[in-house]
A = this chain, B = another copy of it.
Amino acid sequence: MITLIDLFGVAVFAISGALVAGRKQMDLFGVIVLAIVTGIGGGTLRDLLLGSIPVFWVHDPVYILVAGGAAILTVVSAPFLSHRQNLLLVADAIGLAFFCVLGAAKALEAGTGPLIAMLMGVMTGVVGGLIRDLLAGEVPLVLRRDLYATAAVAGAGLFALLMTLGISPTIAVWVGMLTALALRLAAIRWHWGLPVFRI
């Protein structure tokens, strides 16, 4: 079950990577690279920083296969996908909610405190998209836009807090995931955003 949601998140993130590559008119290799990097980038950095090496996908090629497959599906079905923007945004929100809690859980398991666990959760959720934007030559969306990362901060932070307080993991996982999901969906629906800092 967990693996299924995990792969679902990788696939959704990979699709967003492939779409950005298409917008930038990259070739097929570029599309697959952007899809893979977006799908597994966050978890990879988390594993490197925590010292869980080799990183999670090195001995389990299914992640690469799913991300690559999602890229090829995206190329094949691009006209169809462009009419499904909202569906994609919701799927991406589910992926984000799952990844931020999963990342925080892996950090706690590795013995970090709740603050670093929250940070690792946010990283797992947003770093893939951040590298995607860098490779596409853009200032990362996550640093500029509505409550994307903030949803991950809330979800991962709440999860880490509840776990530290000794609440049952099942409850902590659900509260964290649903918080992140609800915040992200509300931000999409009502265009919520953080204040911008201008100097």
Contact = CB atoms under 8 A, between A and B. Distances in A.
Interface in A146-199: 149-150, 153, 193-199
A52 to B, nearest CB: 9
Given A50-B54, A53-B48, A26 B115 contact: no
Interface string A46-81: 001111011101110100110000000001001000
A144 B27 contact: yes
B143 A21 contact: yes
A193 B28 CA distance: 10
Interface in A122-148: 130, 134-140, 142-145
A65 B29 contact: no
Contacts of A197: 18, 21-22, 25-28, 30-31, 75, 78
A27 B59 contact: no
A31 B184 CA distance: 20
Contacts of A84: none
Residue among A18, A19, A27, A135 with the most chain B CB within 10 A? A27
A27 B143 contact: yes
A21 B199 CA distance: 9
B65 A115 contact: yes
Interface stretch (A6-14, A87-95, A96-104, A106-114): A106-114
Contacts of A138: 137
Interface of A: 18-19, 21-31, 33-34, 44, 48-51, 53-55, 57-59, 61, 64-65, 75, 78, 82, 110-113, 115-116, 119, 130, 134-140, 142-145, 149-150, 153, 193-199
